[in-house]
Amino acid sequence: MTVVADMQCGSVAARTTPPILGVEELGVRYGALEALAGVSWQVEPGQILGIIGPNGAGKSTCYDAVTNLVVRSGRVVLDGEDVTKVPAHALASRGLRRAFQQNAFFDHLTVLENMVAVLQDDWGTSFPGCIFRPLAERRRAADARAAAAAQLARMRVEPRFHDRYPTEIPYGTQRMLSIALAHGGGAKVLMLDEPAAGLGGEDMRALVELLGALRDDGLSIVVIEHHMDLIMSVADRIVVLDQGRMLAEGTPAEIQANDAVLDAYLGRSE
């Protein structure tokens, strides 16, 4: 059973804010396997959308389809513009940013230098500038470090870790650094893939707080997550995938009360 049509009608009718990111009828095939079919969802500015589903449901494939990393059918609209044919790297510069399950850092750079490196577009030095305007370039480099430090602090990476190498900092802080680097400075939509994987109680609370703060700042976040407590507490809306298809879409309360979801995924307590 699917409740997608019902939920879509309801949400479209009630919606007042245009979505920042919308995907329509996404489909992906891996040979004979239909890994994704007819998947449509939207996220509004300042909203967190959770994507859940059992292993192999198609969650990561959905991210690959949105960010144009696989051959797919369907349509992707970012901030009112059809970006279906825009390649992945160009989507990132338009503000659609993605963090992967595995942390990916420049291990030979400090935490602060990693952040400076991803802010390079805004703050990068130029060779002619270094030769002809060295003082201005030095100021620019100092400004870049200040902007990087501010962004790290916003993402809960404490100053005491800024001059350490990523492999030297606690795992929970590495996850925050991953989010900071994915966000860069100018994300409109941040797509996170299992940000809570491997996190314990205190780190989990810090992550919930960070996601809430970013949402309150107007950022739109899409989160794939197996950790149900996290997703139910932070998400405004949830999409449930099962075998590549949408099983349900709704608020956390609606999803927790949905018979099809309870049968297929969440499990019944009775």
Cα(73)–Cα(52) distance, rounded to whole angstroms?
A: 21
Number of C-beta neighbours around residue 65 at 10 A: 23
Q: How far is CA 226 from the centre of its chain?
A: 14
Stretch near ligand ATP under the rule CB under 6 A, chosen from 14-22, 51-59, 147-155, 184-192: 51-59
Stretch near ligand ATP under the rule CB under 6 A, chosen from 58-66, 142-150, 176-184, 253-261: 58-66
- Cβ proximity to ligand ATP: between 16 and 102 the closer is 102
Phi/psi at 112 (nearest 5 deg)? -65, -40
# binding residues, ligand ATP (CB under 6 A): 11
Cα(5)–Cα(241) distance, rounded to whole angstroms?
A: 14
Q: Please tell me whether residue 97 binds ligand ATP under the rule CB under 6 A.
A: no
- Cβ proximity to ligand ATP: between 53 and 184 the closer is 53
Task: Return the residue of 3, 57, 115, 180 that touches ligand ATP, per CB under 6 A.
Answer: 57
Stretch near ligand ATP under the rule CB under 6 A, chosen from 50-58, 73-81, 84-92, 112-120: 50-58
Q: Please tell me whether residue 50 binds ligand ATP under the rule CB under 6 A.
A: no
| Minimum distance of ligand ATP from residue 97's CB (angstroms) | 19
- Of the candidates 11, 105, 28, 102, the one whose C-alpha atom is nearest the C-alpha of residue 63 is 28
List b or e across 172-198, with b for residues whose CB sees 16 or more CB atoms inside 10 angstroms.
Answer: bbbbbbbbbbbbbbebbbbbbbbbbee
- Of the candidates 259, 258, 255, 219, the one whose C-alpha atom is nearest the C-alpha of residue 239 is 255
Task: Return the residue of 13, 14, 16, 55 that touches ligand ATP, per CB under 6 A.
Answer: 55
Q: Please tell me whether residue 110 binds ligand ATP under the rule CB under 6 A.
A: no
Q: To which H or E segment does residue 156 belong?
A: none
Report DSSP state, residue 151.
Answer: H
| Minimum distance of ligand ATP from residue 65's CB (angstroms) | 9
Footprint on residues 23-42 left by ligand ATP (CB under 6 A): 30, 33, 35
Q: Please tell me whether residue 59 binds ligand ATP under the rule CB under 6 A.
A: yes
